[in-house]
Amino acid sequence: MTAMRRTQVTDAQVELEPVQPDPLPKSDDPYLLTPGPLTTSRRTKEAMLHDWGSWDASFNEVTADVRRRLTAMAGGGDYDCVLLQGSGTYSVEAMLSSFIPKDGRALVLMNGAYGQRAAKTLEFLGRDFVKLDKGDYLPPMPEEVDDLLTRDPDITHVVAIHCETSSGILNPLQGISDVVMKHGRRLLVDAMSAFGAVPLDVANVPFEAMVSSANKCVEGVPGFGFVIAKKTALEQAEGRSHSLSLDVHDQWAYMNRTGMWRFTPPTHAVVSFREALLQHEEEGGAPGRLARYTRNRDVMVRGMREMGFRTLLEDEWLSPIITTFFCPGDSNFTFTRFYDELKSRNFIIYPGKLTEAESFRIGCIGQLDEAVMRQLLTAIKDVLDVMGVKDCSPAPR
Ligand SMILES: Cc1ncc(COP(=O)(O)O)c(C=O)c1O
C-alpha cells in the first residue's frame, strides 16, 4: 500500500498581535526559527548545570535510559539505539559506512542538500551508488523507486531523506518503504529533522537503520547524534566501517558491554537530552509535538501568505518542520537587512538553500508556540514597513 501524508494549511484568518513578553518560560535569548540548534526550554538548559563523570554509574544509567527511550520512540522490537558524538552529519556518515557493505550498491533519493550530502559521503567512502535526483522541490515518488529497483537488481540499499530540510519538503517515506520492502532491499533513513515529531515507526517503515540528532525535534542541545538500527544489522556491521570513531558496530558493542561511550561523551548534552525526552513524553510524545509544530506552521504560513509571500512548496508537501519562502522581488528587499531587522526584534530566521532561487526559511520546531508565531508575523510586518517593501511576491523567473 502506498500511503502518503497530505497536508493542508488551515484557512483560519491570522490575527496579528502586538509583540508580547515571552509566554513560555525561557531566557532572554532570541527565538531560533531554525531547524536546530533550536530554542530549548529552561528545564533542558538547567539540566546542564551539573558536572558528570563519564565513567560514573549514574551517567551510564542516563546513557542507557536515553537509548531505551529512543528505541521505544521508533517502535522498539528487534532494534537498538547507538549514540554517537558529533553533529548529525557524523551519524549519517557512520550509518552509511557501517550498514552498506563494501560490495553493496546504494540508490540515493535526492531532492536537496542533504540527499546531495549523502551521495557525496558515499563518494568519499568509495561505495557504489546511483541517484534519483529530483532537484530542489519535487519528491522522489514510490513508483520511480519501484521502477529503478526493478531495472537494477544490484541495488542493495535505498537511502532516503525523511524531511529534506533544505526546502522543508516531507518526502513520501511510507510509500518508498513499501516499495523497498516489496523488492527485498534495505532502507536507510536520514530522519534528522523529522524524528520525534513526524511519525516513524518500525511497524510501518521497517528500516535497516535511521539517524537523527539531539538538537532537532526532541529539543535537546547539540553534541551528539543517534542511530536506531535492527540488531541483526548492527551485528552484521562488524568490520565494515572505514573509521574508528564512526564505527557504529564498535560503539554499540562497547556500550552494550560496558555501559559507557568509547570516547569522551558530551555529558552535559546527554543529561539535558534526557530531560528533553521527559518533556517530549509529557507533551504526548511525537503526536503531541507534531500537533504543536503543525499549528506553528499553519499560523505562520497563512500569515506570510496574507502578506503576499509565496512558499516554494504546494501545501501537499509542506512539512511541519521548516518552510521555504521565495524572497520578494521588490527592489527594497535584501535578505541581510531583513535578517538583521528581525534579529533586532528577537527572531533569528534561516537563509535559503535552494540552488536556483533566492529564498529564506522559517522553522517551526523548538520551544515555540502559535503565540510566538503571531509575534513573528507582527515583527515581519514591521520590518517590511521599515524597509519600504510593498510587494512580497517573488521576482518572475
Ligand atoms: C535532513 C538532514 N540531514 C543531515 C543534517 C546534518 O546535520 P548536522 O548539521 O547536525 O551535521 C541535517 C541538518 O539540519 C538535516 O536536516
Number of domains in the chain: 2
Question: Could you tell me if 108 and 202 lie in one domain?
Answer: yes
209-213 and 186-190 beta bridge pairing: parallel
Closest ligand 1 atom, residue 213 Cα: 10
Q: What residue's CA is closest to ligand 1, atom 8?
A: 88
Identify the weakest region by mean pLDDT among 6-15, 17-26, 197-206, 284-293: 17-26
Half-sphere exposure of 308 (CA within 13 A, CB side): 14
Closest ligand 1 atom, residue 194 Cα: 1
Question: Could you tell me if 312 and 206 lie in one domain?
Answer: no
Question: Could you tell me if 212 and 117 lie in one domain?
Answer: yes
CA distance 284 to 295: 15
More confident residue, 143 or 21: 143
Q: Which of 215, 216, 174 is nearest to 194 (CA)?
A: 216
92 lines ligand 1 (CB under 6 A): yes
- Give 286-338 pLDDT, tens digit per residue: 999 999 999 999 999 999 999 999 999 999 999 999 999 999 999 999 999 99
Does residue 3 sit within a domain? Answer: no
Closest ligand 1 atom, residue 36 Cα: 14
CA 119 – ligand 1 centroid, Å = 14
What's the CATH code of the domain at 200?
Answer: 3.40.640.10
pLDDT on residue 221: 98
Q: Which of 279, 394, 257 is nearest to 329 (CA)?
A: 394
Closest ligand 1 atom, residue 191 Cα: 1
213 lines ligand 1 (CB under 6 A): yes
Closest ligand 1 atom, residue 35 Cα: 14
Does residue 24 sit within a domain? Answer: no
- Share the mean pLDDT of the chain: 93
Q: Is the pLDDT of residue 194 over 70?
A: yes
Question: Could you tell me if 52 and 111 lie in one domain?
Answer: yes
Q: By 3-state DSSP, what share of the chain in percent is helix, strand and coil, each rounded to 5?
A: 40, 15, 45
Which whole number is the average pLDDT over 52-70?
Answer: 97
CA 193 – ligand 1 centroid, Å = 7
What's the CATH code of the domain at 377?
Answer: 3.90.1150.10
Q: Which of 250, 282, 314 is the last residue of a domain?
A: 282
Other C-beta atoms closer than 10 Å to the C-beta of 360 total 20
CA distance 310 to 304: 8
State the residue range of the domain holding 307: 31-41+285-387
Question: Could you tell me if 201 and 305 lie in one domain?
Answer: no
193 lines ligand 1 (CB under 6 A): yes
Does residue 72 sit within a domain? Answer: yes
Q: What residue's CA is closest to ligand 1, atom 7?
A: 88
CA 175 – ligand 1 centroid, Å = 23
Which whole number is the average pLDDT over 208-222?
Answer: 98
Which whole number is the average pLDDT over 53-62?
Answer: 96
Q: What residue's CA is closest to ligand 1, atom 15?
A: 192
CA 273 – ligand 1 centroid, Å = 18
Question: Could you tell me if 232 and 161 lie in one domain?
Answer: yes
Closest ligand 1 atom, residue 222 Cα: 10
Question: Could you tell me if 138 and 228 lie in one domain?
Answer: yes
- Give 89-146 pLDDT, tens digit per residue: 999 999 999 999 999 999 999 999 999 999 999 999 999 999 999 998 999 999 999 9
Does residue 75 sit within a domain? Answer: yes
Question: Could you tell me if 192 and 277 lie in one domain?
Answer: yes
DSSP characters over 35-62: SSS----HHHHHTTSS---TTSHHHHHH
What are the backbone dihedrals phi and psi of residue 43, each rounded to the nearest 5 degrees, phi first? -60, -40
